[in-house]
Amino acid sequence: MKEIHSYWAYLVLAILIFAVVNAIIGLTQKKQFTDKDLRIGLFALIVSHIQLLIGVVWYFMSPWFNLLTSDAASVMKDKTLRLYAVEHPTTMLIAIVFITIGWSKHKKKTADNAKFKTFAVFYGIGLLLILSRIPWSAWF
């Protein structure tokens, strides 16, 4: 599960970056919001939700969860343990919430500019949150 979670994360990052850049380009160049833009946003939503599901399953199988439930005080004192056991899962959940809100809000917008702006803002916040709590030392 850990390997699946790690490799799927690359796909999530690539698609989210693509979706945010696409939204920013559409917003700045005042493009028409097309089915292609809708599908990019939807695909980003889907891959991020799949990553969340994989992450939740892995989290409850991981040693971090067992350590947190048995000795929370020592986990909170250690920066690396706290990142894996608390900060990473919590921040990722919040990021997925922002992405989901962005998807829901864009459907209520009628103007193309407003749809792009909604994706840029909410997917962008989600992307920044994800980037802020990736355990980079484990990736490289």
**Tens-place pLDDT, residues 84-115:** 899 999 999 999 999 999 999 999 999 999 99
**pTM of this prediction exceeds 0.85:** yes
Could you give the 3-state DSSP secondary structure of residue 31? coil
pLDDT tens for 37-57 read 999 999 999 999 999 999 999
Asked if 18 contacts 42 with a C-beta cutoff of 8 angstroms, the reply is: no
Q: At 30, which helix (H) or strand (E)?
A: none
pLDDT at 140: 63
**Could you tell me the residue ranges of all domains in the chain?**
2-139
pLDDT at 21: 98
Per-residue pLDDT tens for 57-66? 999 998 888 8
Whole-number pLDDT of residue 20: 98
